[in-house]
C-alpha cells in the first residue's frame, strides 16, 4: 500500500443501446461523478478518440513543471498556476468506459477494439451467453473487468467496480511526480500506517485532487470548491532546525518550543514558494509513525488568489457539465 503521488477525478462513459437502462444508471450513480451516456457506438468511439491528444498535452504540462523545478523554479506556484490555467478541462478526461457487449450495430468488444489510442479502463457488461467471450477478453487483457447484467444488485457492483478503477493512480503521472521525491521520502509514503493516515486525511478534508512533492515535502491539494491547502510533512529529526529558524525569525518562545516538540509546524517553505503575500503560519501538528521514522504533519490554508477558486472548481464543473441527458 502506498499513498498516490497524484490523484484527481475523471469521467465515466456508458455505451448501451438500451435507453431505459442508461436512464436508470444516470439516476443511481454517485452525483459527483462526471458521467456521459451514449446510445450509438460510432458516436462514443469518436468522442473518446478525441481525448488522447488532450491527455498527452496534460501529461506533458505536468512533466514540464518538474523539468522547470530541476532548473530552480519552485513547484508549488507552478502547480497552482497549472490548476488555474487548465480551467477544469482536466476533469473532463474519461477514466472509465463501460460498454454493453450485446448491441445490434457493433459488439462491445468491437467498440473497445476501436479505442486503440485511448488508455482508460474498460468494463464490459454481458448477458449469460456472452460470459465465455468476456472471460477470454479479460484473460487477453482487453478489458479490466466484466459484469453480468444479471448480477444481483448490479448497480452496487457496477459502482464499486468503477470506483476501484477511478481510485487507481495514473502510472505515468506517478513517475512524473516520483522524480521530485528522495528515496527516503518515497519509502515513507509506502509505509502502510502513513499511507493509510494520509488516505484518511484526504477523505476527511474532502480533497478531490492532490499532488505529493518532495521539495518542499508535503501534499498540495484541492477540495471540491476549488480551495487549495498545503499539508506540510516534516521528519522528527528536522524539528530542531525548523525551531531554530522560527527563533531566528522572531517567533515567540512558546511557538518555538512547540515546534521543537512536534506540537506545531511553521510553513516557512510555503511562504518562500508563494512570496510575500503569503504570511507564514504556525499550525497544530500531528504525528504519523512508521517503522523507520516519525513523520509530523500540519495543514495550512492557501489564500484564494493563489488557487483556482470556486469558478474553476470541480463542484462548478459538475454543476455546469454534469447533466446526464441521453444524446438526441
| Structural domain includes residue 307 | yes
Pair (106, 192) in one structural domain: no
Residue 132 has pLDDT above 80, yes or no: no
Highest mean pLDDT among 106-120, 149-163, 175-189, 286-300: 175-189
Residue 30 has pLDDT above 80, yes or no: yes
Chosen domain end from 122, 153, 169 = 169
Of the pLDDT bands very low, low, confident and very high (cuts 50, 70, 90), residue 232 is: very high
Pair (192, 92) in one structural domain: no
Q: Could you write out the DSSP letters of every residue in 63-123?
A: HHHHHHHHTT--HHHHHHHHHHHHTTGGGGSEEEEEEES--SSS-HHHHHHH-TT--SEEE
Pair (305, 190) in one structural domain: yes
The range of the structural domain enclosing residue 202 comes to: 173-311
Pair (25, 153) in one structural domain: yes
Question: Per residue in 227-240, is it b (16+ CB within 10 Å) or e — as a string?
Answer: bbbbbbbbeeeebe
Main-chain dihedrals φ then ψ at residue 308, nearest 5 degrees? -70, -30
Average pLDDT over residues 241-257: 95
Average pLDDT over residues 296-305: 92
Residue 7 has pLDDT above 80, yes or no: yes
Percentage, residues of the chain above pLDDT 90: 74
Short-list 228, 214, 208, CA closest to 7: 208
Residue 109 has pLDDT above 90, yes or no: no
Non-local CB neighbours of 8 within 8 Å, separated by 6+ positions: 90, 91, 208, 209, 210
- CATH assignment at residue 153: 3.40.50.2300
CA 136 vs. chain centroid, Å, equals 31
pLDDT 10s digits, 48-76:
999 999 999 999 999 999 999 999 999 99
Percentage, residues of the chain above pLDDT 70: 97
| Structural domain includes residue 327 | no
Pair (284, 158) in one structural domain: no
Rounded CA gap, 213 and 179, in Å? 9
Non-local CB neighbours of 302 within 8 Å, separated by 6+ positions: 80, 227, 228, 229, 230, 270, 274, 278
Residue 312 is given by DSSP the state G
Lowest mean pLDDT among 42-51, 225-234, 276-285: 276-285
pLDDT 10s digits, 261-299:
999 999 999 988 998 777 889 999 999 876 666 899 999
Rounded CA gap, 231 and 317, in Å? 25
Pair (81, 183) in one structural domain: no
Element (H, E) at 248: helix 239-248
Lowest mean pLDDT among 102-111, 127-136, 184-193, 254-263: 127-136
pLDDT 10s digits, 186-213:
999 999 999 999 999 999 999 999 999 9
Pair (98, 200) in one structural domain: no
Pair (179, 165) in one structural domain: no
pLDDT given at position 228? 97
Amino acid at each position: 500500500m502506498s499513498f498516490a503521488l497524484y490523484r484527481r477525478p475523471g469521467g465515466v462513459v456508458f455505451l448501451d443501446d438500451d435507453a431505459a437502462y442508461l436512464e436508470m444508471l444516470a439516476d443511481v450513480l454517485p452525483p459527483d461523478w462526471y458521467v456521459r451516456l451514449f446510445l450509438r457506438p460510432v458516436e462514443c468511439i469518436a468522442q473518446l478518440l478525441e481525448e488522447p491528444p488532450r491527455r498527452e498535452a496534460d501529461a506533458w504540462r505536468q512533466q514540464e513543471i518538474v523539468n522547470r523545478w530541476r532548473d530552480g523554479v519552485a513547484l508549488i506556484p507552478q502547480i497552482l498556476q497549472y490548476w488555474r490555467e487548465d480551467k477544469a478541462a482536466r476533469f473532463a478526461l474519461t477514466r472509465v468506459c463501460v460498454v454493453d457487449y450485446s448491441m445490434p450495430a457493433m459488439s462491445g468488444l468491437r467498440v473497445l477494439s476501436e479505442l486503440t489510442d485511448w488508455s482508460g479502463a474498460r468494463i464490459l457488461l454481458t448477458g449469460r451467453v456472452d460470459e465465455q467471450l468476456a472471460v477470454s477478453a479479460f484473460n487477453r487483457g482487453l478489458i479490466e473487468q466484466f459484469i453480468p447484467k444479471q448480477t444481483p444488485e448490479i448497480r452496487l457492483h457496477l459502482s464499486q467496480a468503477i470506483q476501484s478503477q477511478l481510485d487507481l493512480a495514473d502510472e505515468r503521472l506517478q513517475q512524473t511526480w516520483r522524480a521530485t521525491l528522495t528515496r527516503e521520502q518515497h519509502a515513507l509514503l509506502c509505509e502502510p500506517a502513513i499511507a493509510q493516515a494520509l488516505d484518511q486525511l484526504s477523505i476527511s478534508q474532502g480533497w478531490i485532487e492532490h499532488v505529493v512533492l518532495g521539495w518542499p515535502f508535503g501534499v498540495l491539494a484541492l477540495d471540491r470548491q476549488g480551495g487549495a491547502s498545503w499539508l506540510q510533512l516534516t521528519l522528527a529529526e528536522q524539528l530542531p532546525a525548523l525551531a531554530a529558524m522560527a527563533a531566528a525569525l522572531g517567533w515567540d518562545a512558546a511557538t518555538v518550543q512547540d515546534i521543537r516538540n512536534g506540537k506545531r509546524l511553521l510553513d516557512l517553505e510555503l511562504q518562500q514558494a508563494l512570496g510575500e503575500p503569503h504570511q507564514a503560519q504556525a499550525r497544530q501538528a500531528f504525528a504519523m509513525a512508521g517503522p523507520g521514522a516519525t513523520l509530523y504533519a500540519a495543514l495550512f490554508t492557501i489564500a484564494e488568489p493563489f488557487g483556482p477558486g470556486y469558478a474553476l472548481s470541480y463542484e462548478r464543473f459538475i454543476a455546469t457539465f454534469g447533466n446526464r441527458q441521453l444524446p438526441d
